[in-house]
Amino acid sequence: MIYKGSAWKFGRDIDTDAIIPARYLKTSDPAELGKHCMEDADPEFINRAKKGDVIVAGENFGCGSSREHAPISIKAVGISCVIAKSFARIFYRNAINTGLPILESAEAVDGITTSDEIQVDTDKGEITNLTTGKVYYAKPFPGFINDIIQQGGLINYMREKVKMQVD
């Protein structure tokens, strides 16, 4: 997939309470969760982020809780993918399992500032900063993880497996 959008840059250790505060976890409705995405990190984000935009962050993005509400709220805003220097491990799993594209590249993060126009080719792991013209490459995913991503998440992947067994 190829995505294009503006970059929203955040620092390191953006935790799940910053992505979606626990006070909103009394629902799992994506639209409702999307309304509060990144609220405590940048109250303006939710008013100004556009469909296709890209979140760019430092180390340990998504640390903290296991709440899948975090990638769900990011997807609900229409964010196309998250690029970070590194991801906290449960967030990493959750993103893969829910089909939110994520890419790890410290160079890309250092080379992108807020509002830069970014193009991401998730199949190749290629990140292009259209504003500066620079190109970066993210670490590829291991094979079996790639299968899950290709199927659009773990549930689709499993549904296909179950169907195959029934057939």
Residues that bind another protein (CB under 8 A): 13, 15, 17-18, 21-23, 25-28, 39-41, 59-60, 63-69, 71-72, 86, 88-90, 93-94, 97-98, 142, 144-145, 153-155, 158-159, 162-163, 166
Residue number with CB closer to another protein (5 or 153): 153
Alpha-carbon separation of residue 130 from 81, 92, 113, 127, 136 (angstroms): 16, 26, 12, 9, 11
Tokens of 23: 């006070």
Residue number with CB closer to another protein (50 or 89): 89
Least gap, CB of 109 to another protein (angstroms): 14
Residue number with CB closer to another protein (133 or 142): 142
Least gap, CB of 46 to another protein (angstroms): 14
Residue number with CB closer to another protein (74 or 118): 74
- How far apart are the C-alpha atoms of 132 and 128, rounded to whole Å? 9
Least gap, CB of 57 to another protein (angstroms): 12
Q: Residue 144, exposed/middle/buried by CB under 10 A (0-12, 13-18, 19+)?
A: exposed
The SS3 assignment for 22 reads: helix
Give the contacts of 133 (CB within 8 A, at least 6 positions apart).
none
Least gap, CB of 64 to another protein (angstroms): 6
